[in-house]
Structure 1
Amino acid sequence: MTSILILDDNPAVLTSLQILFSLNGFPCITSEYPSHALELIKQGAASLVIADMNFQRETTSGEEGKRFFYAARAINPDLPIILLTGWADLTSAVELVKAGAADYLAKPWDDQKLLLSVNNLLELTEVAHQQREQASERQQLRSALENKFDLAGVIYQSDSIYRLLTTAVQVAKADVPILITGPNGSGKEKIAEIIQRNSSIKNGPFIRLNAGAMPLDLMEAEMFGAEAGAYTGIKQTRVGHFEQAHGGTLFLDEIGNLSLSGQMKLLRLLQTGEFQRLGSTQVRHARVRIITATNSDLPAAIARGEFREDLYYRLNVIELHTPALAERKEDILPLARHFLKGRPITPEALRALEAHDWPGNVRELQNTIQRACLLASAHNIETSDLQLPIQKIKNRPLYEPSEAQLRQCLTQAGSLAEAARLLGLSRQALYRRMEKYALNSEDYFSNDKTGTNSVDTA
């Protein structure tokens, strides 16, 4: 179990704090020298540090504390550090809070405020540790999946896509039809490709046919083939996609657009493996694994008489759903960076990408990035290059109260904590504004002297 590390050149301070934390169940270790404290941090002995700003008598600049802080951060950037300050080095403490210090407290400190700050920081540290462990575990699972299966270079970060991929490779070797549902541009074809690459017929052909990309009168000829003269304009025999896919996989996208006649023939093929070219009476055979996809509501189409119910149940032995990009926002930036191919992009443009709803999903994102790379006048991709609809970027606005508003709130509030809450600021942020207008907390709150329990967020 790691401990609270207390660094101070005054033995009385070390003893006082050690007794305080021991009585409240916090194990701690002490040090009078920054070099020794840094060695303890290197050894991983500290889960939190409470450090003085000066370590020599008659020294009040806080420079020693600054050097220790930056050295400690270099060893462990996530280690929470609370600074103990005198008023003379308050400016240095404020600078270090902006640089990442967890908190600062002026001497003499308030025991209860110090305990509360320590408890909160340790809880946050534990949560952050758990999150890092979970992230590490997730990455290990993703790496294991990628090492074991051929994922066709898919780019993702979200748990929903990880679960989808896990299911897809699990069912890939099953010789049954698979229906992939999801909105246009969400990656249904990529999932079909991954299924093919991990199937028992991965060395066979993988034939794609978009049923929504051609007229209905040509669709059956594309699927099943046609003899010369079967219809106007065909002068030679056309081998259909089913024959081309023999021994492999046929991916039929937008299956909901297939005509009722084509649906009947597809059903026959699924039941018997038999089909006929248009204009021919010869029965042909094909051994094909069928993967279909749709963005349509097939049960609703069945109710309208537009899709055969028996075909639906034949196709839907296993259903996989690809979520919309708006439902997996964590995938936006990894995908964007992949499409950028190393082209630099500004932070503002990245925020704009995250804020957009992407109704066209991954396909829209890819097209947007490709267009921006072609048309951008500067080397960096700017927000304007993306040509996205104007919308509010989802950032919290910074609230800056006037002096009059600040005074009024301090007068009405019962404590500094309440005043900070009413203003929507952290305690540290409230202190900054009070210092700006030379306002003293003791003029408003007799029992609430200096101190804080939160990190500046504004």
Structure 2
Amino acid sequence: MKANILIIDDNQDIAQALQVLFTINNLQCALAYSPQDGLALLQQQHFDLVIQDMNFTADTTSGEEGMQLFNDVRQINPDIPIILITAWTHLETAVDLVKSGAADYLAKPWNDDKLLITVNNLLELNELQDQQRQRAKSKQNQQIQLEQQYNLCDMQFRSDAMLQLLQMATQVAAADVPILITGPNGSGKEKIAEVVQANSSCKNGPFIKVNVGALSQDLLEAELFGAEAGSYTGANKTRIGRFERANGGTLFLDEIGNLSMQGQAKLLRVLETGEFERIGGSQSIKVSVRIISATNTDIPKAIQSGNFREDLYYRLNVINLKLAPLNERKEDIFPLVDTLLQGKYQLSSASREVLLSHDWPGNIRELLNTIKRAQLLCVDGIITEQHLGIELIKTNKLGPKEDVTEQDVVTAIKSSSGVISDAAKSLGLSRSAFYRRMKKFDIKDV
């Protein structure tokens, strides 16, 4: 299908000359000789690009009419590329409009070859952007469908990685099989466990959590399996263990990779038989418990080094949910932050750039603490980079980042859900400069 270009220029000779140029180069073209006619056409049909004059009244050179037309076009279609073309206007006006999102600025008389190259590049990049918007819309629809069908426990996310993880988590939640959640510290493993529990067949049962790696050998058995009164010094009454308390529900064993070898042996025995005795007791207790465990340990490596039982690993790891670190899903940063701010605070553009640039070694836990700190220090409702307290390697303060990499561009697009103008702003670039980098790195599918 041919691209469709709208030319808005009061000089009919110029408009028709452009139409001839584009037609012989296999580009479809429509003409409007006034801003009003151009805006009417734009509302009636689809166009891929607009070329507009800056002055429409005789003896007018201020460019104010062109600025108004530019803003009106943006109101109708915020994403359509706009090329400004005129013989008379102030340079400052053109620069301001390019900063506001105009794709390019050409002076009359124009160079046909240069104009065609510019138009074809913009049309190609606009097609890529349309594809990205479609993917973003598809992802948003999938997220809405997931939220309507399942209880996501108020999780805030935007990344593909988290969408896919939650799709898998909700899919396997109803199956009565053990699940192992792996991921770095502070990445939200417990929250994923809550989602699994909330959508399981035992969702109305108890959800008992225990950090098994933090339990000493003396406490482990009593904590997990309970103890009879008088079974050890200080046991004045019967103690109900976590397994027994979780009967009919879910037991979440956090930091399972730190469990001692002795503790692993005892846990394996219960998982194999479903039965245990309290310390000091002789009666077997049988429970029905869904096991979800979590760890930041590389368990296969721990198995090789003799620090984790392979048979226990296979008992726990029927389904593995791998949670990526926050620096691999930075699209999730602002949904999380917006939830914390609750509309009471706003982020400055510099602070937003800092949040995207930081590597987040502490993951979501670090992000939450950073925002809490900023809220305490902020007094006027605007959170600045100083409130965040994050030290970064600074880029050139006088202008946009010069060493923009392919990964910078990809991350910016993902973080802005495919909205190129927002992605460009996050890197301190104009929209046209951002397009050029997309072209340079041949970025077509994000």
Pairwise TM-score range, normalised by the shorter structure: 0.7 to 0.9
The SS at the match of 2:253 is: strand
Match of 1:297 in 2: 298
Deviations 1:270-309 (A, max 9, x none): 1111111112222111111111111112223323333222
1:352–1:393: 8 Å Cα contact kept in structure 2? no
Identical residues among aligned pairs (%): 56
Confirm whether residue 131 of structure 1 aligns to residue 132 of structure 2.
yes
Range with greater deviation from structure 2 (339-348 or 155-164): 339-348
Q: CA deviation at 1:375?
A: 4.4
Match of 2:11 in 1: 10
Deviations 1:134-176 (A, max 9, x none): 1111100010011101111111111111111111111111111
Match of 1:364 in 2: 366
1:85–1:93: 8 Å Cα contact kept in structure 2? no
Deviations 1:192-227 (A, max 9, x none): 111111111111111111112332321211100011
1:165-244 counterparts in 2 under 5 A? 165-244=166-245
Q: CA deviation at 1:396?
A: 8.3
Q: CA deviation at 1:119?
A: 0.8
The SS at the match of 1:270 is: helix
Confirm whether residue 70 of structure 1 aligns to residue 71 of structure 2.
yes
Q: CA deviation at 1:231?
A: 2.2
1:315-326 counterparts in 2 under 5 A? 315-326=316-327
Count the aligned residue pairs: 405
The SS at the match of 2:382 is: coil
AA aligned opposite 1:381: I
Aligned match of 1:373 in 372, 375, 397?
375
**RMSD between aligned residues:** 2.5
Structure 2: runs of 5 or more not aligned = 402-428, 438-446
AA aligned opposite 1:22: T
Whose Rg is larger? 1
Distance (Å, rounded) in 2 between the aligned partners of 1:188 and 1:395: 37
Deviations 1:101-150 (A, max 9, x none): 22222222111111111111111211111111111111000100111011
1:6-405 counterparts in 2 under 5 A? 6-87=7-88, 90-344=91-345, 345-388=347-390, 390-393=391-394, 398=399
1:326–1:357: 8 Å Cα contact kept in structure 2? yes
Q: CA deviation at 1:66?
A: 2.7
Distance (Å, rounded) in 1 between the aligned partners of 2:342 and 2:27: 50
Distance (Å, rounded) in 2 between the aligned partners of 1:54 and 1:315: 71
Match of 2:407 in 1: none
1:265–1:275: 8 Å Cα contact kept in structure 2? no
Distance 1:40 1:341, change over 3 A: same
Range with greater deviation from structure 2 (374-383 or 153-162): 374-383
Q: CA deviation at 1:56?
A: 3.7
1:177–1:289: 8 Å Cα contact kept in structure 2? yes
TM-score, length-scaled by structure 1: 0.82
Distance (Å, rounded) in 2 between the aligned partners of 1:10 and 1:195: 65
TM-score, length-scaled by structure 2: 0.84
Distance 1:38 1:315, change over 3 A: same
Structure 1: runs of 5 or more not aligned = 401-424, 430-452
